[in-house]
Amino acid sequence: MKNTIFFIASGLISLMFLSFISPDEGFERTRYSLNNNVWKFKKGDVKNGFKTKFDDQDWLSVSIPHDFNGGIDGVNDDVFKGRFDFKFDPDNRTMYKGPAFYRTQFSMDDKYAGKRVFVEFEAVSLVATVWVNGKEVGKHEGGYTAFSLDVTDYINFGKSNTLVVRADNTNNSAIAPWMADEKLPYPYSFDYAVYGGIYRDVWLTITDEVKIENVFNTPVCGGAAAAVLTMNTHIKNYSKKEKTTVLTTVVYNPKGEEVTTLKRKKIIPAGESVTITQSESSIGDMFLWSPDSPHVYQVKSSLSVDGIEVDQFESVFGFRYYSLANHQPFKLNGEKLLIRGINRHQDMEGVGYALSNEQHVKDVRLLKDAGFNFIRHAHYPSDQAFAKAAMEMGMMLWLEIPLTGSTSENPLFLENCKSQMKEMIEQHYNNPAVIIWGIGNESDRSGGGEAVSNKVFGALVKLGRELDPNRTVTGCNFNYESNQNLVDVYSPQNWGGWYRNTAASYKPKEIIGEHGADVDVNNRSNEVFDANVDYSASGKPEFWSQEYGAFLHEYKVSIGEAYKDSFPGHFAWIGFDFASPRLERNTNPIPFMNQKGLIMHDHVTKKDVYYMYQSMYREASDYPMLYIVPSTWTDNKEHAKDARIWAYSNCDSVSLYNGDKSLLLGTNIKNAGPRGDTRFQWNNVEITGDKIIAEGWFNGQIVSEDEVLVK
């Protein structure tokens, strides 16, 4: 039977449902969120802040997710004040890096005495120290992976309990990511903000003393061999007695149909852990996971002790196979598929790192709607909600550990990187969207140098292959060839046309991890750009214009499509503008903002280049689209006489009209742009009305329209 109980948390009444099941009925694992508890927050290192009776009434009240740099609480918003930029006021223009305390209360019914209680954090940046009822229960170093703490022995059953977390985002040579010198520009410091705080979900989980710790599903398919599913279930007996267990595993196909049930009996000694391996090759018709058909299988595991069910665990997997190598096309499930990739940071205006799960899902949708099929999550593992949404929407994933910029000689640094690598792989192992494990980004540019980076990178590649031999291990933009040779597939970046060289220098043969340009959304230009000209040293304001950014992306997208049979693909930098409190970013149009996003920091406002990708990567049969690119001529129609007007569309042809459609300015096909295949363009057009209108034609019908007002 099930009863309802109210938990009182710092004056907030939380309604939740717990399962009070008598011994002959077994036990149901229970999990509930601590996000909406009243959490009391204080920035700084608070003496005795961990103690149960500490007076926190004058602390700021917050909810989770929360970080203490991004402004989600309306108070702690300093990420755009820069990082140690003493050319400005050192007291008012510095992003806070250091410790902060969080405190909350929760109650636990005494009927749960004898069960196990775990506090689970999806991420705390960068170091978390946790106390329950004044006693330290654990510490976690690494800000982008989840961790769980067994707090059973510290719980006051039937009474109030105090949970305290100290979060610290201080730059630390023992923990990745590390900057060799935060006060200096690249390569000593890297290009994103390390926000501090409990910025992902917090959970309380109650289980039996014998519990399923994790399930790792390994589906293997492809070629002439039969598909095989292997499931490794990790179980721990926390009790002081030997237990006879039966593991029952039921597999459901993407239609929800049961395809197999497996059982295995195992005696587990007191305090011991075991792994039960189950394999199955008879799974019926196989549904393959792909971007177009993201089929996911469900696995439901249950554990019985002496014939009574005591624990349940759900997991997923997907059948798919691929080949990824440089100098040749990427293949998924035997078919060539150009990687049309995009990078993403978990950084948003007004919330910093503390995005809601709903926003993570919206971000995946925005990138999927643009036509991308692959997301590189830079430069750390994503939120579980983001990864789950990617799996369900058919977006392949490249996840990497935050080994960014500098590789420390501190021996603890390697151990920390290995720990973060292990946590990342274990936490995302079952997700079929994950194709690539990354060991780092530009992480040999300063710090220990070639010998140290080879030692660290080599150990991480070895660990990645041991933990998951079925996925590719890569690294991005390593300076030393010896580093590049360690990984399965090396990925350089290409900044031709932006930081150096010309757009025309883009001739990719390897999987490109980053390419792009900063774009100031308010900067417009009618200049005609040339792919053979190096604009990087020009200093011209047009260099930051929407038109130049679109021009550079257009050129490289066109090259990618032309080279699709000779290289795997490429990743545009980046989906969304993000904070970059690095010294040399203070002169950007938006100070301390990396403005290379296709969408602004609000995750709403799309730049022209977003629509360009839609026009190249989306099919009109699925998503007809048309976007007239506004420019300086929208402010002054006289400019149009000497300017180009162009539109992005995936239609067969586009017709352009003046005013009320009484004057046709021309019907064009997609035959313009830096390589003649990315835009619909009209030259030397005279505008006579107060607007222009465009119609997109597909299969003989008008399927899309757009218009812009002109002055």
Which element (helix H / strand E) includes 40?
A: strand 39-43
Summarize pLDDT for 625-671 with one digit per residue, the tens: 999 999 888 888 777 777 789 999 999 999 999 888 889 999 999 99
pLDDT on residue 93: 58
- Say which residue the tokens 């902060």 belong to: 100
**C-alpha closest to that of 406 among 199, 594, 185:** 185
Structure confidence at residue 92 as a pLDDT band (50, 70, 90): low
The pLDDT tens digits for 345-399 are: 999 999 999 999 999 999 999 999 999 999 999 999 999 999 999 999 999 999 9
Q: Which residue has the higher pLDDT, 1 or 434?
A: 434
The 10s digit of each residue's pLDDT in 214-230 is 999 999 998 777 899 99
pLDDT value at 485 more than 50: yes
Render the burial of 150-175: b for 16+ CB within 10 Å, e for the rest.
Answer: ebbebbebeeebbbbbbbbbebbbeb
Residue 3, pLDDT > 80, answer no
Q: What is the pLDDT of residue 18?
A: 35
Q: Which CATH class is domain 211-317?
A: mainly beta
Burial tier of 601 (Cβ tally within 10 Å: 0-12, 13-18, 19+): buried
Higher pLDDT, 25 or 361: 361
* pLDDT computed for residue 468 by the predictor: 98
Answer whether 432's CB lies under 8 Å from 394's CB. no
Determine what percent of the chain is predicted with pLDDT higher than 70: 95
Report pLDDT digits (tens) over 181-191. Answer: 888 888 888 99
Contact 208, 21 (CB under 8 A): no
Higher pLDDT, 686 or 152: 152
The C-alpha atoms of residue 438 and residue 424 are separated, in whole angstroms, by 10
pTM: 0.94
Task: Tell me if domain 338-617 and domain 626-709 are identical in fold.
Answer: no
**What CATH number belongs to 3-207?**
2.60.120.260
Domain boundaries, the chain: 3-207, 211-317, 338-617, 626-709
Fold (topology level) of 626-709: Immunoglobulin-like (2.60.40)
Q: What is the pLDDT of residues 513-559, one digit of tens each?
A: 999 999 999 999 989 999 999 998 777 778 899 999 999 999 999 99
Domain 338-617 has CATH 3.40.605.10: no
Q: In the chain, how many H helices and how many E strands? A: 7, 40
Q: How is residue 7 written in tokens?
A: 């938990």
Model pLDDT, residue 579: 96
